[in-house]
Structure 1
Amino acid sequence: MIYRVLGEQGPRVSAVCLGTMTFGQQTPEADAHDQLDMAFERGLNFIDTAEMYAVPARAETCGASETIVGNWLSRQVREKVVLATKVAGPARSLGWIRGGPLALDRANIREAVEGSLRRLRTDYIDLYQLHWPERNQPLFGQWQYDPAKERECTPIRAQLEALAELVDEGKVRHVGLSNEHPWGVMEFVRIAAEAGLPRVVSTQNAYSLLTRVFEYGLAEVCHREQVGLLAYSPLAFGHLTGKYLANPTAAGRLNEFESFGQRYTKPNVQPAVAAYAELAREHGLTPTELALSFVYHRSCVASTIIGASTSAQLAENLDAWSKPLTPELLEAIERIHLLYTNPAP
């Protein structure tokens, strides 16, 4: 495993991060702790969670992932763990989180942090992220910006000022974004520089063989401004394992939870998955190994967030780290990408 520093002076994190969105829903606590132990034995030092997890978001499981991680964390040497979590944004139907947050304002951010600290059983969070922007923008499978949907929102400067208070108080070490677009990253960077506020060190965005829109504008922005990409959904909610090709009713979140994974319902997803799966087999790899290795070793990725329902799945995902792709295979991937360009934006 290798380690990279997020941003200019952010935390030093493993190139693979353990995501926890299944903890408390598909993954019981004992199994989750086994996964955490395995990950750290294999060299990972980086955990990502969120106040709204488990996913799909429900009132009954809200905060469960943080609680499970916190119970495990209480038995660890805290300084050896880089812990990331996120505050839920507004404009989604999450009425059980602070009454349905209407803003990423100071009151909501502070209340969210205090709740996360309690559940995580820690005095500080290494990386605190805004789970999605408050402002109008296309999210979670939407792909077109619609100015008609503009609404009032908390200014970015006010969001940064609220985060700055938490950094000054020692409750948060570093700050980051999630599900952001180029304009948002640039505004956070610009305002932080102008006002002497905390500089974001990362943005957590979907990135996989099926979803490479990050490469269009954000790749340049993040490279020039030293904002690390934390790539989530590298297996596209299980699609890129190939399991749904042979059995559309295979066990997994897409079949267990109705109306989940809308990003992957678009017409070219299945043909693209089939092409990548065949390519993997031609080169002696599993579809999972191909998909993960592509993201793991991509130059624009600082750390890849992987999640698993079981320890066996996690072991396979971790093993893919040691299987970098050849130049010939990467060229073949680009040919498929040009044929099925971003089928799940």
Structure 2
Amino acid sequence: MKLNPLGRTGMMVSELCLGTMTFGTQTDEPDAHAQIDMALAAGINFLDTAEMYPVNPIRAETIGLTETIIGNWNAATGRRGEYILATKHSGEGMKAARDGARISSKTIAQTIEGSLKRLQTDYIDLYQFHWPNRGSYMFRKNWAFAPEKSGQTGDEVRAEMEDCLGALAREVERGTIRAFGLSNESAWGTSQWLRLAEAGKGPRVASIQNEYSLMCRLYDTDLAELSAYEDVGLLAFSPLATGLLTGKYLNDALPEGSRKTVNDNLGGRVGPRAEAAVAAYVGVAEKHGLDPVQMALAWCAGRPFMASVIFGASTVAQLAHILEGADLKLSAEVLADLDATHRAHPMPY
């Protein structure tokens, strides 16, 4: 499997990354462990998780369970050194984690220690901030985004970033983390983190984990340019638009055990415009004799700013289906049809 640089860290990550947010809810522990085995055997060397996982739903009593399941695999197999492991520090407002405290030098060390214990490892390869303290335009908030709602000035935001970078630098020195990444960030926010790192305040941002798919292309402008010139690659989450791009929900279908059975609007993604867009993208796959899942992932992987595409599979069978298309490269004709579909169905949710 193709490997891409993880920023300027020297680490190389597979262009597909196994996402684990259903480990502990939709995916039980034996299935989760089988998925890790299968992913590594297929050449995937990158796993992504977070302290707040699993999801669907997020519950206080299950916070940290996904990391624990991965940690049990690490302990049982002794194979921790065979892959790159990423996890995340929850941001402000996550009441089940530190009663919703903001990310700061006061929370970082203890949060890393919690993750290390659950993951049964001595180090985390990529440590990410799950969302900015000041808020974000992600998760459909872009429709009414107003930066001044954070109540902070630019100087106050930078001071908070500098405080966090100092704590991260101490963790790098201790050897508990190797690199630092962002998630649900903006071009302005990422540029501030980079500016402070260049001033010697702490580790340089290696990556940005934001939502990205054929149906969610907010990254394509300012952040894409930042990725290209600053070597900060995208780790795309929801590349299948929470399952919409599989086509399995078309015509009001509701497969048993699917995400939509526990989250009926799929985080604000369901609606008539989304339905029309999905039908159009599935139509492109059918026209070219492609599987819509494999087409959507291959399209993401081929984007010039992509470090890795994070996908999730509720079952081993779903993972096997995805891996069958791991080497798919899309033709110029397919890409042209996908571009035309995007122009006809922009921002469908």
Contact 1:254 1:260 (C-alpha < 8 Å) held by counterparts: no
Residue 148 of structure 1 and its aligned partner are, at CA, apart by 4.7
Match of 2:100, SS?
coil
Residue 255 of structure 1 and its aligned partner are, at CA, apart by 2.5
**What is the 5 A alignment of 1:57-68?**
57-68=58-69
Contact 2:248 2:254 (C-alpha < 8 Å) held by counterparts: no
User: Is 1:35 aligned to residue 40 of structure 2?
Assistant: no
Residue equivalent to 1:239: 244
Letter in 2 for 1:11: M
Residue 271 of structure 1 and its aligned partner are, at CA, apart by 0.5
Match of 1:321, SS?
coil
Q: CA RMSD in A?
A: 1.6
Match of 2:242, SS?
coil
Q: 1:199 to 1:182 in 2, by over 3 A?
A: same
Contact 2:131 2:183 (C-alpha < 8 Å) held by counterparts: yes
User: Is 1:16 aligned to residue 16 of structure 2?
Assistant: yes
Residue equivalent to 2:347: 342
Partners of 2:89 and 2:98 in 1: CA distance? 11
Q: 1:163 to 1:253 in 2, by over 3 A?
A: farther
Deviations 1:184-229 (A, max 9, x none): 1100101100124200100101110001110111000011010011
Residue 259 of structure 1 and its aligned partner are, at CA, apart by 5.8
Pick which of 30-39 and 267-276 moved more: 267-276
Deviations 1:84-134 (A, max 9, x none): 00000003xx32211222x11112112211110000000110000000111
Partners of 2:218 and 2:287 in 1: CA distance? 27
Letter in 2 for 1:136: G
Residue 282 of structure 1 and its aligned partner are, at CA, apart by 1.1
2:92 to 90, 95, 111: 90
Residue equivalent to 2:145: 145
Match of 2:132, SS?
coil
Residue equivalent to 1:50: 50
Contact 2:254 2:261 (C-alpha < 8 Å) held by counterparts: no
Contact 2:126 2:178 (C-alpha < 8 Å) held by counterparts: yes
Residue equivalent to 2:312: 307
Partners of 1:106 and 1:196 in 2: CA distance? 13
Unaligned runs of 5+ in 1: none
Partners of 2:193 and 2:258 in 1: CA distance? 34
Match of 1:157, SS?
helix
Unaligned runs of 5+ in 2: none
Partners of 2:344 and 2:292 in 1: CA distance? 18
TM-score (normalizing by structure 1): 0.95
Residue 260 of structure 1 and its aligned partner are, at CA, apart by 5.6
1:80 to 79, 82, 85: 82
Match of 1:238, SS?
helix
Partners of 1:141 and 1:266 in 2: CA distance? 13
Partners of 1:241 and 1:216 in 2: CA distance? 26
Query: Percent same amino acid among aligned pairs?
Result: 45
Q: 1:196 to 1:216 in 2, by over 3 A?
A: same
Match of 1:208, SS?
coil
Residue equivalent to 1:217: 222
- Alignment length, in residue pairs? 341
